[in-house]
């Protein structure tokens, strides 16, 4: 099976509705849950990500915008960023501000966001959660919080290379990471952050982190 396109183009195709699977480093495939991310937020989304965000919020890797769209609808200043043009388009259709940005590039409002969301496993972006959380320190206002979804207790900290398979075509590899409840304290600490609380709702888990004092 030949590599037909880059990872960003694969994400665009996936968000446009093409049948897509995520393929891990040993070839195991699981569905890319576009339907779940494109639907309205459910009660778990609300409890873990939407209800806590009562001030300026940036949704990193916002996808089709179900979270940032709902936060914006509550008249809270909010913005989504994503590398996928299609994801950004769909987020804007929901009425939310969204920009095509890489989280490691320049982001409007740096240093003024009160909350940063890393939902749906997006703590894994780039394959280096320490680097990603360190980046969040620059994005957030002093006293701001990261709300990151984490994997089950026992998942540890795993780095891997993934690909997307879209209707039989494989994308180029991209770096990803998985961080479990049992590993998030250590990962946060390496990034100069500390976990202030963890929550489990409906079988999903989040860790809320803040910057450690200098």
pLDDT of 145-168, one tens digit each? 999 999 999 999 999 999 999 998
The total domain count for the chain is 1
Residue 194 belongs to domain with CATH number: 3.40.50.150
The pLDDT score that the predictor gives to residue 104 is: 96
> For all residues of the chain together, what is the average pLDDT?
94
Tell me the residue range of the domain where 79 lies. Answer: 3-211
**Contacts (Cβ under 8 Å, ≥6 apart) of 117:** 49, 53, 57, 58, 59, 60, 67, 68, 146, 147, 148
pLDDT of amino acid 141: 95
Q: What are the tens digits of pLDDT across the range 48-96?
A: 999 999 999 999 999 999 999 999 999 999 999 999 999 999 999 999 9
* Burial class of residue 26 (count of CB atoms within 10 Å of its CB; 0-12, 13-18, 19+): exposed
Task: Give pLDDT, residue 1.
Answer: 45
Q: Is the pLDDT of residue 214 over 70?
A: no
What are the b/e assignments for 144-155, b being 16+ CB within 10 Å?
Answer: bbbbbbbbeeeb
């Amino acid at each position: 099976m030949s590599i037909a396109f880059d990872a960003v183009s694969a994400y665009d195709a996936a968000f446009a509705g093409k049948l897509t699977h995520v393929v891990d480093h040993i070839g195991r495939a699981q569905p890319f849950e576009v339907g779940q991310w494109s639907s309205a937020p459910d009660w778990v989304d609300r409890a873990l990500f939407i209800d806590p965000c009562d001030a300026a919020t940036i949704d990193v890797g916002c996808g089709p915008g179900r979270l940032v769209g709902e936060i914006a609808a509550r008249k809270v200043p909010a913005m989504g960023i994503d590398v996928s043009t299609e994801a950004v388009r769909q987020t804007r259709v929901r009425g939310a501000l969204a920009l095509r940005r890489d989280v490691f590039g320049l982001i409007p409002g740096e240093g003024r966001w009160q909350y940063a969301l890393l939902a749906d496993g997006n703590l894994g972006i780039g394959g280096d959660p320490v680097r990603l959380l360190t980046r969040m320190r620059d994005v957030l206002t002093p006293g701001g919080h990261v709300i990151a979804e984490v994997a089950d207790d026992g998942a540890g900290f795993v780095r891997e290379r993934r690909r997307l398979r879209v209707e039989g075509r494989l994308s180029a590899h991209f770096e990803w990471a998985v961080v479990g409840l049992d590993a998030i304290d250590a990962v946060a600490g390496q990034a100069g952050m500390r976990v202030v609380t963890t929550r489990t709702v409906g079988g999903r888990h989040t860790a809320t982190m803040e910057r450690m004092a200098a």
